[in-house]
Structure 1
Amino acid sequence: MSAADSPTPHESFDGPAPRLIATDLDGTLLRDDKTVSPRTVAALAAAEAAGIEVFFVTGRPARWMGVVSDHLASHGMAIVGNGAAVFDLRAGTLIEAFPLPESDALAVAHALREAVPGTAFAVERTAVFRREPAYEAPDPDGPGACAPIETLLAEDRDQPVLKMLAKHPTLNPDDFLATALAVAGRQAEITRSSETALLEISGAGVSKATTLAKCCAERGVTAAEVVAFGDMPN
């Protein structure tokens, strides 16, 4: 189909005009080198100029949101940690958190470690990342970073647990997820967004979708007025 033959937005879209765009980052908004293309930057600016609010919705923690810091314009709202928190990136402030309770995190960790020996865990809080020694670190460790999961969950209690991560060195990612859901799926929201055996564990009922729905309801935006983009199971 040539450009001249392409349908106009009105002809190709059957529904109310969008009021909010919700976009994932990795594998969606970001290119493979974690940059944002000029075309995408222009599209975000055009959406904003048309009165459409843009939400970044990601599994990333807030500390990894620098990839979009140069492209915020007025759209600085982000749902991070797979729905565990809402941040205003422009102000650098936490708006609301939906944490994973320590007791549920421990129950999931114990069940998963029993079902899949060799599983290693890490904990992501609002501003702190801590890991077990066997968990390969994506970032340089801070003081006291390495400890068993029981200790990690007992530390830094002034910050809510946004999510717990579970990693296995050899399992198939889908098999790992299926096992986790079978042994602990009632106590937490468990998903994945990596090509490796890495699970992301949030509070029960907490997901990108639930937090996005809450933010939309607060703005009087219906589901029919949202356009969402994403690429992985989370």
Structure 2
Amino acid sequence: MAKLAGVSKATVSRILSQDTSFSVSEATEKRVWQIANKLQYKLSNVAVRDNSEKLHLALVSAVSFEQELNDSYFQQIKLGLTQQANLWGMKIANEIRLPTSDDIQWERLSIYGAVLVVGVLTEDLLEKIYQYNQNIVIIDDYRDFENYDVVHNDFGRRTKFILDLLHERGHQNIAFIGGNKKLMTQTGLAEIDVVDERQKAYVEWMKINNLLEQISLQIVGWGQKMLLLQQRKYFLAKRSQQQ
């Protein structure tokens, strides 16, 4: 491979290992990646650093840096992925944040042991990733896929558990405030909505408990949802003080 690229083996190794301390021209780097993809070169052949072989992972995320910083839910997902990778002697070597207007070289994903996907991507985009790497694990997506593994929380079951508790205490007029997720493309959000698992669980539970007429759905954006919850919290606190 080094001969085909016209560079040394060390150069190939450091480019594919994404050594940030190594400087090389963009043309040379692109040529090495193209040849690696054409030869279906596996990262395990070159992922030796400090005499310790590590399996590299790629992360494709529909969560922006700002969302991750401001939302503990996404912070914990990223922390868990990083910690577990370290425990297995692995690391996340490449991160792709969506949406982006940058020209993403998707073929680079072919050299990683697996691709971790956080968020809900369009099926077309998932298929593009699958072309270059068949080891895909999706986190925080409740859709069913034939070719991809999915890891998600038990939001549906926990929603029904909470509704059971409310029902046991005599509540029947129960509303749901939530937000749907839009599928992510490479350059932005699509118009396609994915219904939240908690909303599905709420509607199903209300029907099973013969409360169909009491169903009240308030589906807003996630930012609006937080505002509504804050307003309700303020209202309840003020009413409690008055009592």
Q: TM-score, normalised by structure 2?
A: 0.34
Q: Higher helix proportion, which one?
A: 2
Q: TM-score, normalised by structure 1?
A: 0.35
Structure showing greater relative contact order (alpha-carbon pairs closer than 8 Å, 6 or more residues apart) = 1
